A = this chain, B = another copy of it.
Amino acid sequence: MTKGRLEAFSDGVFAVIMTIMVLNMKVPTETNFAALRSVVPVFLSYVLSFVYVGIYWNNHHHLMHAAQRVSGGVLWANLHLLFWLSLAPFATAWLGENPHASEPVAVYGVVLLFAGIAYYILTRSLLRHHAKDSALAIAVGRDQKGIASLAIYAAGIALAFYRPWAACGCYVLVAIMWLCPDPRIERNVRE
């Protein structure tokens, strides 16, 4: 019951975040492809953020699917994750308008980093209520991918002040890492 409503509410937030980000793409006042080309950086930052929210929705789904019990602390850990993700439209818009400037690139990485940390906290607060041999504990495993992501985000933030494009490369790399199907999760879904 509690789990179902947590999922429904989170789905609503994920859906709204994903969809309002597109409002950042301002309609060009002229009607030629040159005008459209000026929207491309905003579009690319939108694609990246869409993929990230999609990855979080996917992972959130698998995590909650495996969870059997939800505590008051988990409700707040979940809201904490949604808070950082809700900053994505802001960070995406700033990045999209200034893809070569250090500060917007760094701020985008900070939002990714804190969302990653929030997801980690959510995982831990769920594991506290599950046995070591539970479906959840097995699905989460040692979470090397999650920890590696945090490290790459941090590297991206530092790189943003020297080579903004390299920082963006870090963010794209993590997204690709998560997009590739994970055999453990696939097995989980099939069972």
Residues of A participating in the B interface, judged by any CB pair closer than 8 Å: 1-2, 5, 7-9, 11-20, 22-25, 27-28, 31-33, 35-36, 47, 50, 54, 57-58, 61, 65, 70-73, 75-76, 79, 82-83, 86-87, 89-90, 93-94, 97-98, 101-104, 107, 179, 181-182, 185-186, 189-190
**Contact present for A61 and B181 (CB under 8 Å):** no
Residue of B nearest to A12 (CB): B15
18 further A-B contacts with Cβ under 8 Å, apart from A2-B61, A22-B86, are A2-B65, A5-B11, A5-B65, A9-B57, A13-B19, A15-B15, A17-B19, A20-B20, A22-B87, A27-B97, A31-B101, A31-B102, A32-B103, A47-B83, A58-B72, A58-B75, A72-B189, A73-B181
Q: Which residue of B lies closest to A14 (CB)?
A: B9
Assembled-state Cα–Cα distance A13/B19 (Å)? 7
CB distance from A190 to the nearest CB of B (A): 7
CB closest residue in chain B, given A25:
B90
A50:B83 contact, CB within 8 angstroms: yes
Beta-carbon contact of B58 and A90 below 8 Å: no
Listed by A's residue number, 6 A-B pairs whose Cβ atoms lie within 8 Å are A12-B14, A16-B16, A58-B76, A71-B186, A71-B189, A76-B179
Chain B positions within 8 Å of A189 at CB level: 2, 70-72
Q: Distance (Å) between the CB of A167 and the closest chain B CB?
A: 14
Residues of chain B within 8 A of A50, CB atoms compared: 79, 83, 86
